[in-house]
Amino acid sequence: MELSNIALARFNMIEQQIRPWNVLDARVLEILSVVPREDFVPPAHRALAFADLEIPLGHGECMLAPRMEARLLQDLQLQGTERVLEIGTGSGYMAALLSKQCASVLSLETNPHLADMARAHLASAGIRNVEVRVADGAIAMVEGGLFDAIALSGSVEQLPQHLLDRLAVGGRLIAVVGDEPIMCATLATRVGKDELRSVKLWDANAPRLHGFAERSHFRF
C-alpha cells in the first residue's frame, strides 16, 4: 500500500468507522491518526490494516477491530499520568494507543512469539513506555502493584476479581463481558478501598481471552 493510499485509508477508518461509533474525543482521534496501525499488522494482512474487522495474528489470536480499540481507549478516559495494565498484548497496537495517554503500560501476553512481535512493533514505532511481559493475566498473581487503569483486549464471561483487586482507588477497568450473542463493554471503577461501581456501556462482541474462568452452562 503506497503512502498516499495508507493516509487515505487511515482517514477513512477514522471518519467512516470510528467517529460513527461515537468516538469523538479529539485526543483519541489524534492518537489514531499518528500511531501506524499498518505497522502492527502481519505482512500478509497489511492490506486489511484499516478494515472494520478482526485481523488474524496466528497462534489463535487476533487484533480487535479498530472501532472497538478506539472505543475502549476513549471510555477509559486516561489523563496522561496513569499506570496501565493491559491483558492480551497481541500485536502491540492497543498498548501503543494506550501509551500515548498514560505514563506507562505493562502488557501481559501468554504467547512468547506474539510478545516478541509486539516488542519489535513497539520499538519500531519508537514507543518506550510499554513493557511487554510473557505472563498469564488470567492467573491471580499479577506482579506490578496497583494500577490506575486496566484494559482487557478481549472478552471475558465475568469481570475478573483478581484484576479488580489490582485497581487503585479511582482506577478503572474496562472489558467486554458476557457470552455470545450478547456481550457488553463494562467499566468498573474503584470508588473506595472496598467499594467498586460498574456500568454497562455498549453492546459488542469480542474474541475470548484465554484462561479466564467460565461458568458451566450444562443443563439437564
Average pLDDT over residues 42-54: 94
Average pLDDT over residues 153-179: 95
Domains, the chain, ordered by start: 3-203 (3.40.50.150)
In single-letter form, the type of residue at position 107 comes to S
Share of the chain above pLDDT 90, in %: 85
8 Å CB contact between 13 and 7: no
* pLDDT reported for residue 216: 57
Average pLDDT over residues 123-136: 96
The DSSP secondary-structure symbol of 140 reads S
Summarize pLDDT for 64-88 with one digit per residue, the tens. Answer: 999 999 999 999 999 999 999 999 9
Closest residue by Cα to residue 27 from 86, 66, 77, 93: 77
* pLDDT reported for residue 220: 45
8 Å CB contact between 136 and 110: yes
Q: CB-based contacts of 95: which residues, under 8 Å, 6+ apart?
A: 86, 89, 105, 107, 118, 122, 127, 130, 132
